[in-house]
Amino acid sequence: MSEDIDKVSIQITINGQHYKRDVEPRLLLVQFIREELGLTGTHIGCDVTYCGACTLLVDGKPVKSCTMLAVQADGCEIHTVEGLEQDGELHPLQKAFSENHGLQCGYCTPGMLMSSMALLAENPDPSPDEIRKGISGNLCRCTGYNNIIKSIQAAAKEMAG
């Protein structure tokens, strides 16, 4: 016999769009975003905060959404990788990752982009060591990180004007 779970009402703004939903208290934020809203750019990798593929921004801070409950995000402003592109134009980070070969298989890329967004918001001209520290919670098995660092540096220059 299955146990009925009372749902909890939450209100979240994601990429500028407001959502109000009733969710199970145990629903992970990554599941809410992917399954309830259909925003599948946020990837599920390890489910234990190790890989960082599910990283998104919650109130401007990078969060691994595989270990945050949707109810914990109630009232928060969230940005996912889908929100980077504006009016059909790629964000400078997306362009830089493409132009500087900062991605290969692409599985880690959404998390890398979102961690990089948070880093550049706090430090618009990071050194390579600061970039390494800023993306240290994200694993990439393909690139060796050198082109990711180049990509973030190139985006920082473009974003600075």
pLDDT digits (tens, 9 = 90+) for 117-157: 999 999 999 999 999 999 999 999 887 799 999 999 999 99
How much is the pLDDT for 23? 97
DSSP H/E element including 127:
none
pLDDT of residue 161: 86
In the block, tokens 């994601």 appear at 14
What kind and span of H or E run contains 124?
A: none
What is the band of 51 on the pLDDT scale with cuts at 50, 70, 90? very high
- Strand bridging mode 8-14 / 55-58: unpaired
Question: Does CATH place domain 8-83 in 3.10.20.30?
Answer: yes
Torsion from C-alpha of 34, 133, 91, 79, nearest 10 degrees: 40
Query: Taking the domains of the chain in order of start, what are their residue ranges?
Result: 8-83, 92-160
Give the pLDDT band of residue 48 (cuts 50, 70, 90): confident
Residue 1 pLDDT greater than 60, yes or no: no
Given a cut of 80, whether residue 2 has pLDDT beyond it is: no
- Helix ranges (DSSP H) in 17-135: 29-31, 92-99, 109-122, 128-134
Q: How many CB atoms lie within 10 A of CB 155?
A: 24
Average pLDDT, the chain: 95
The bridge status of strand 17-23 relative to strand 8-14 is antiparallel
For the residues 57-71, what does the mean pLDDT come to? 97
For the segment 75-82, the average pLDDT, to the nearest whole number, is 98
Return the pLDDT at 3: 62
The pLDDT of residue 13 is above 60: yes
State the CATH class of domain 92-160: mainly alpha
| Span 57-63, average pLDDT | 97
Query: What's the rounded mean pLDDT across residues 25-44?
Result: 97
